């Protein structure tokens, strides 16, 4: 509506809205003391306010903290398509899937691989295990504390798991990158199919199927262990670093 229609001073709907706003501004304003201290607060209310400070501090990245081996976020676990990136198909490595009943048969496979590693490394198995147990406190720090609750008072079980899993990894990868004779000498005794061995290698790269690299260092610290560590480095280079560079 134009300003000349119906002979009024109002300028259509816009003028009416402005009149309402102007009328509202005539209401006496209420003064608010921004430094209010005369209202008592309970301990619960004080704790709520303190949680804001904690949330602010928690939002700052801790650049000195070591990355931890932990489960993937729950939002990803609910998506079936993502399961292949963190749930092993054949063999469990580390503690996150150690007690998975669907991977129970892998325990025998890991034990056989570990036995061959101990035989080939040329170091007393008792000494290898004792070195693992000696550093168990440091190895614990590589995991999310929540995942270690069931091992809170069981260093023996945790050390044995690291020992067997570490030996199995080293032997399996050495079978891939070792000499031709070494591969078939072990391959024939394990009675493992090629396709199953392929799944074993892919399982070693999954997010939740990891152990601290220190475990492998402890097992290959002798001069005879150098060949196994070289195989590990080749495996990482061929399956992780080189494909990433190609992409």
Over 90: is that where the pLDDT of 127 sits?
Answer: yes
Radius of gyration of the chain (CA): 32
3-state secondary structure labels for all residues of 189-208: HHCCCHHHHHHHHHHCCCCC
Over 60: is that where the pLDDT of 3 sits?
Answer: no
Question: How does DSSP assign 24-41, residue by residue?
Answer: HTTSPPPP--TT---S--
- Calculate mean pLDDT across residues 123-148: 92
The predicted pLDDT at position 189 comes to 59
Taking only the tens place, the pLDDT of each residue in 57-101 is: 765 555 556 788 888 888 877 777 788 888 899 999 999 999 888
- Calculate mean pLDDT across residues 193-198: 74
The predicted pLDDT at position 21 comes to 46
Q: How far apart are the first and last CA of the chain?
A: 64
Between the alpha carbon of residue 73 and those of residues 59, 67, 70, 82, 83, the distances in Å are 17, 15, 9, 11, 12
Q: Confirm whether pTM is higher than 0.85.
A: no
For residue 8, is it left (φ>0), alpha (ψ between -120 and 50) or beta? beta
From the DSSP assignment, how many helices (H) and strands (E) are in the chain?
A: 12, 0
CA neighbours within 13 Å on the CB side: how many for 190? 27
Over 50: is that where the pLDDT of 13 sits?
Answer: no
């Amino acid at each position: 509506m134009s300003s000349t229609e119906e002979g009024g001073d109002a300028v259509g709907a816009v003028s009416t809205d402005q009149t309402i706003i102007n009328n509202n501004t005539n209401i006496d304003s209420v003064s608010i003391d921004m430094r209010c201290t005369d209202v008592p607060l309970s301990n619960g209310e004080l704790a709520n306010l303190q949680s804001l400070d904690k949330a602010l501090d928690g939002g700052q990245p801790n650049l000195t903290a070591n990355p931890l081996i932990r489960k993937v976020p729950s939002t990803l676990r609910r998506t079936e398509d993502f399961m292949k990136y963190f749930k092993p198909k054949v063999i469990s490595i580390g503690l996150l899937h150690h007690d998975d009943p669907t991977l129970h048969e892998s325990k025998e496979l890991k034990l056989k691989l570990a036995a061959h590693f101990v035989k080939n490394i040329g170091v007393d198995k008792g000494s290898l295990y004792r070195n693992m147990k000696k550093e168990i406190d440091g190895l614990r720090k590589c995991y999310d504390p929540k995942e270690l609750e069931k091992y809170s008072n069981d260093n023996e079980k945790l050390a044995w798991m690291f020992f067997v899993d570490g030996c199995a990894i080293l032997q399996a990868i050495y079978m891939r990158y070792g000499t031709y004779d070494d591969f078939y000498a072990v391959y024939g005794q394990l009675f493992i199919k090629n396709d199953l061995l392929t799944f074993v290698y892919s399982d070693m790269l999954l997010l939740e199927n990891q152990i601290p690299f220190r475990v492998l260092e402890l097992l290959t610290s002798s001069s005879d262990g150098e060949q196994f560590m070289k195989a590990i480095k080749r495996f990482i280079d061929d399956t992780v670093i080189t494909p990433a560079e190609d992409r």
